[in-house]
Structure 1
């Protein structure tokens, strides 16, 4: 009898899980630019790496740091933590499949406004709701190290003054009230009005929005 009850409970739990998954797929179809087939494919990949259905910050940071040979591991971990935070919408410390897909949607198929909002959260290192020149410069330096892995420490140090000038130029263009920090509205609307800022870089690439 006990075994039969256990089987019934297990079957009920499985049906509930399937219903929840179908509901999640339906929601993601509405709020992202992925098809049902694509969402299911992503789900298989997600569960392969995260059988529990929850991606931890430690797992995410470890994978990210290991993906790039160049740059200081501590610094790369800082950037990875920021990326994780932009995906972790509810601040739970883990990323579920829905959060993961919403984040990937912005990066892969998001509009310019969506990607700019995401970039803003990336640059807001302390989560204050605004970006300082130092925060912008810090992330630009990290992105530069990752984008140009062939450069050694000496070459990276030579480019720092240029990146400093880039950060200051962006602030001059976007800081409308002159208070020394950028708010979300200033950042997003400013770049939409001045799209040439997206092409600013010391090597001809694009660092302001992550590609």
Structure 2
């Protein structure tokens, strides 16, 4: 039976493909605070501006490709039962070939009803407009977990962390909660690998392996080690 490799990925892996992060822009988007475009309050205040923000992000995501970090994770499925938990809303993991991807913060290429959150629809192309409505006649909004909203997939992510044979963190500084708290659910005996150019401070534990590198270069090294030691 293949060992279960659970992977938490963050903005760093997508940034290498050319997807800008909030932090890169110092929390601003064209001079606008992210709370204005990524919160329920911002949506109520100016839904058109929020839609424009995500339309721009969708257009950007269409123009980029998965990088070597994404591809390395997909290729590891040959030898491991890989379960990806991502903080990213893009579809680069899926496009790279990963089969099991849990999106903690929602999906960029989905919309959902403002009336009934169970009504979810794919976004064709890159535009979602005012006047686009769900089956019940309510305006569609991005299917994204905004600041201040609960993270519905968090419980499933915690379950994955608890049963991981190996846990891997890629492209995240582990400062965004609740996702950063997933490492607290990893059993002490579970090997933990971390790949990031700015390594987070972690409590000392056995089987901790740190790679101070970008996802694309670091993942090549980690994949080799995983196959040598745990396959």
| Fold similarity call, TM over 0.5 | no
Q: Which has the higher helix share?
A: 1
Query: Bigger radius of gyration, 1 or 2?
Result: 1
> What is the TM-score with the length of structure 2 in the denominator?
0.29
> What is the TM-score with the length of structure 1 in the denominator?
0.31
| Higher RCO (CA < 8 A, seq sep 6+) | 2
Q: Which has the higher strand share?
A: 2
